[in-house]
Amino acid sequence: MSTSFHHIHPPDIATLWQLVSHYSPSGNEAAAVETLLARFAELGYTKAFRDAAGNAVGIMGSGERQIVLLGHIDTVPGEIPLRLETLPGEGEVLFGRGSVDAKGPLAAFTDAVAAVGVRAGWQLVVIGAVDEERESTGARFVAQQPDYHPEFAIIGEPSSWQRVTLGYKGSARAVVRFTRPLTHTASAEMSAADTACAWWQTLSTQVAARNADRPRAYDRLQPSLRGLNSGNDGFTEWAELHLGCRLPTDVPPKAWYALLEHMEPPGEVVPQGYAIPAYRGEKRTPLTRAFLGAIRAAGGKPGFVVKTGTADLNIVAPVWGCPAVAYGPGDSSLDHTPREHLPLAEYRRAVAVLTGVLERLTAPVP
């Protein structure tokens, strides 16, 4: 790992520049992981290694108390040419896939921990997790490792430098299949495709009724129809609905699947991938107080948000059982878009905030 970062200008965005320069859609993170490991070494981290899941791990210090800063190093597909531009109202910005979601936050973690350095009694762990944009295999692996027992956890996702994310909705995917004997098209009987469409309309009506007294998107069920396939073999016809749903905190995945299974007319419900329950952390903890103080110290007006997406926060926070939030520079409305870019001033402020947070959390008790 001989990558040199000294030629990057301006030098305080070297980590960000190098990470974003390596296009790393899920499943192709190896080059970006090697780059991050090289950066950990150059910044004086105590230890840096690739774990068995392929995550990049950097550790500063060797104390018994632990803070984990978990970001993700993969991106969605769609490479964006790396470049600096000056935009009205934003100043100098960095264009590139992952600049916002979520190499910007991961780079900010890396630079903030380097700025804080070794803190007596503490171990600061930065993890660049793989596969977050698919099934989060990196975060699932981390959550199972006994080496991680954080007192505080910060998950890298864009929130803007002045805001802290307390929670994300859950998610669940399923295929619902309908089959029936093939009939003549002149028949008055409903086809399998007719049945599937009627089923979806019934589900939509029931969900709308449930959501009627829930004005906030975070508290609503948000099902989406992602695909409809149909066919026959000459004797039997079939239709499949491919569904996704964003889940509020009071509807765990099992309850969502149960609702689908009891719908009329009945279909075969087959869950897909990993379902993730919603998560919402507490607003009043030592971690949130540290963020409030650090944002104010950097000249900002702090605020809290909850989001309708899903993040690795949902996976690790319930396992670790410690105060946990998501934080990072960037405008999340640019996630996954062709205009993804990060203002450098935003990045620098986020690094300052994170540095302040870590200094507050690890300060010796008088």
Of 74, 133, 331, 340, the catalytic one is 74
Q: Which residues contact 88 (CB under 8 A, 6 or more apart)?
A: none
340 is catalytic: no
300: its two tokens: 């900002």
The region, left, alpha or beta by phi > 0 then psi within -120 to 50, assigned to residue 154 is beta
In angstroms, the CA 143 to CA 161 distance is 26
* Measured CA distances, 117 to 60, 125, 242, 289 (Å): 7, 12, 48, 21
Catalytic residue among 29, 111, 132, 312: 132
Residue 209, number of CB atoms within 10 A of its CB: 9
* Closest to 124 (Cα-Cα) out of 36, 164, 64, 54: 64
For 280-313, b/e burial (b = at least 16 CB within 10 A) is bbeeebebbebbbebbeebebebebebbbebbbb
Is 74 tagged catalytic? yes
Single out the residue of 193, 174, 173, 171 nearest to residue 182, CA to CA: 193
> Do residues 34 and 128 make contact, with C-beta atoms less than 8 angstroms apart?
no
Going 242 to 271 to 245 to 106, the CA torsion angle's sign is negative
Q: How many CB atoms lie within 10 A of CB 87?
A: 11
Beta bridge partners of 95: 83, 341
Q: Which residues are catalytic?
A: 74, 132
